[in-house]
Structure 1
Amino acid sequence: MLSEPRSGRLAAWGNALLAGLVSPDDAVLAIVGEDAVHRVEGLPGEPAPVGLTLALGRLRALGVTGLRVALPAPGHPLGLSGPPEFNARALEAQEAVVGHGAAFGLVPEVFEAGPAGDVHVEVVWHCLPVREAPPADVPSLGEAERELAEALREATEVLSRLDVAGSGPVADAAIDAYRARAERGREVLAPGYPSRAVRVLELAQRVGLLVSLAYDHGDGAAVSASEMAARSEALRPVGRTARRAQVAAYNSVVEEREKGVR
């Protein structure tokens, strides 16, 4: 979890655009990031893929008032509400954006193009119908923050006990590098998000990074199959907590708006 999901950027900056807090050009620039181009395919009334600026305007005209994030994993349809076709596409991509106010969702498909040494990334967002229902297993910001504090303690204890790379200098160096990139200008969230959402997202990314490093960098003292299985079993709920908190942070603007109209 060294970088934010594309669905997070699209939802965050799309919400800022829908709220009139940023210009279309600024929103699209932030959403595309280091990719070459993003297009949206399957929009009602559009026979061919269109650019993000037109797509976001069309979604607004179709009734979309906010964008939520889904980060599903096998056995955990986090942020999804159906139908099965959309859920299956989102699970394959491990992320999606779900519209609020109109029943449309977006699932990214990522392509690499160009010659060796000059490869660039292109993204096509597939627009599909979604079911209008509460998203699955998304906590409030307060719940997410409390769960994350405990998850960070658990992750540190597990990694230290099993002596895997994620508990020592490798993790520290990776986290320092992540922070340095953020300080060079990357905004954690788009304008309009509460400071608590920023805090929750940053902590979720740190916890997720620790879990990712534990899987990616050797086995340390976890040399036996049983110890490796124990590590996986212990870290699985920690990773799930981090993903739930990410979704809670990205979705907080829409959730707060919903509370305000009740």
Structure 2
Amino acid sequence: MLDEPRSGRLAAWGNALIAGLAAPDDAAQEVIAGDSAHRMSGLPGESAPVGLTLGLGRLRALGVTGLRVALPVPGHPLGLSGPPEFNARAMAAGEAVVAVGGPAIGFVPEVTEVGPRGDVHVGVEWQCLEVRDAPPADVPSLGEAERELAEALRDATAALARLDVAGAGPAAQAALEAYRSRAERGREVLAPGYPPRAVRVLELAQRVGALVAIATGAHTEHGGAVSASEIAARADLLRPVERTARRAQVAAYNAFVEEAERRRG
């Protein structure tokens, strides 16, 4: 969770485009970010894959009013509502986007990498699939997510201290410094139109996720752990914290749709 999910960028900037708050080309470029190219395949009314700019415009023409994010992992279908085929594909990818309004469709990214190390070209094809029109699984409100995150941040910080991750070596320090530098650059966390609270929740969720990734060894080769039992204990300790951070990310990305639905209601 040191990096934002592609589904988050697609949902955030897709929502801004659908609401008329971002130009199509600008929104597509923000979604692509550091990748080489993105396409959408299987869109209703399209017989072949199309570029992201055309694809996002097509969604608006189909009557889609918003996009939601799902960040599932095995045993936790966060943000999913079925059917089984879509859930399985989303689970394998670790993320998905679900359309609100218009046809009942969702998108799962298929990522390909081509080229030698140092010159890798990353392509993403968003596979359009049928989804079930039902409430998404286990997505909290922004307020609930913010309260949970405050406690999770305390837990993650305490765990880092107990597990002596700070003394785990240069890899841990480099990961921590990279995260701090990225946070200090003042990057635009969400697209135009999102409420300030969503930005705050997402920033905190990403901070918690970064701490968990470092503590569990994703960037430190297990830090100071010296045995398999210690590595397992570390993972067990931080699993609930990671789950809370993922739930909060989904709540933040979905806040645009939730806010729009409240206004209509």
TM class by shorter chain equals over 0.9
Report deviation, 1:164.
Answer: 2.7
CA contact (8 A) 2:176 2:214 kept: no
The amino acid across from 1:259 in the alignment is R
Question: Does the Cα contact within 8 Å between 1:110 and 1:123 map onto a contact in 2?
Answer: yes
Q: Which residue of 1 aligns with 2:16?
A: 16
Contact residue 72 and residue 80 of structure 1 kept, 8 A? yes
Indicate the SS of the match to 2:111: strand
Moved more, 213-222 or 238-247: 213-222
Give per-residue Cα distances to partners, 1:99-144, cap 9 Å, x unaligned. Answer: 0113110100001123554221010000011111111000111111
**How far off its partner does 1:224 sit?**
3.9
% identity of equivalent residues: 75
Matched residue SS, 1:174 = helix
Partner of residue 247, structure 1: 250
SS at match of 1:234: helix
- Please tell me whether residue 36 in structure 1 is matched to residue 36 in structure 2: yes
Match of 2:148 in 1: 147
Structure 2 residue 261 is matched with structure 1 residue 258? yes
Where does residue 136 of structure 1 map in the other structure? Answer: 137
Structure 1 Cα separation of the partners of residues 87 and 77 of structure 2: 8
Q: Secondary structure at the match of 1:154?
A: helix
1:64-213 aligned at under 5 Å gives the runs 64-102=64-102, 103-115=104-116, 117-165=118-166, 173-184=174-185, 186-213=187-214
1:188-237 alpha-carbon deviations (Å, 9 max, x no partner): 00000111111111111111111111222144554344333221111101
> Which letter does structure 2 place at the counterpart of 1:261?
R
The AA in structure 1 aligned to 2:62 is L
Distance in 1, matches of 2:264 and 2:172, equals 43
Give a deviation string over 1:9-42, Cα, whole Å, max 9, x none. Answer: 0000000001101100110110000111100010
Q: Is the 8 A contact 2:89 2:108 kept in 1?
A: yes
Kept after mapping to 1: 8 A contact 2:201/2:252: yes
Aligned-pair CA distance for 1:85? 0.4
**Cross-structure match for 2:230:** 227
The Cα of 1:53 is off from its aligned counterpart by 1.2
Q: Report the aligned-residue RMSD.
A: 2.0
For residue 256 of structure 1, report the CA deviation from its aligned partner: 1.3
Q: CA deviation at 1:4?
A: 0.5
Provide TM-score, normalisation by structure 1.
0.93
CA–CA separation in structure 1 for the residues paired with 2:42 and 2:131: 13
Q: Answer whether contact 1:141 1:196 (CA < 8 A) is retained.
A: yes
Whether the aligned pair in 1 keeps the contact of 2:35 and 2:121 (CA below 8 Å) is yes
In the alignment, structure 1 segments of 5+ residues that lack a partner are none
For residue 250 of structure 1, what is the amino acid of its counterpart? Y
Structure 2 CA distance for aligned equivalents of residues 159 and 184 of structure 1: 24
Aligned to 1:4: 4
Q: Distance in 1 between matches of 2:41 and 2:152?
A: 38
Distance 1:244 1:4 in 2: 14
**Off by >4 Å, runs of 4+ in structure 1:** 165-173, 182-185
The structure-2 alpha-carbon separation of the partners of 1:167 and 1:246, relative to structure 1 and needing over 3 Å to count, comes to farther
Distance 2:149 2:252 in 1: 12
- TM-score normalised by structure 2 residue count: 0.92
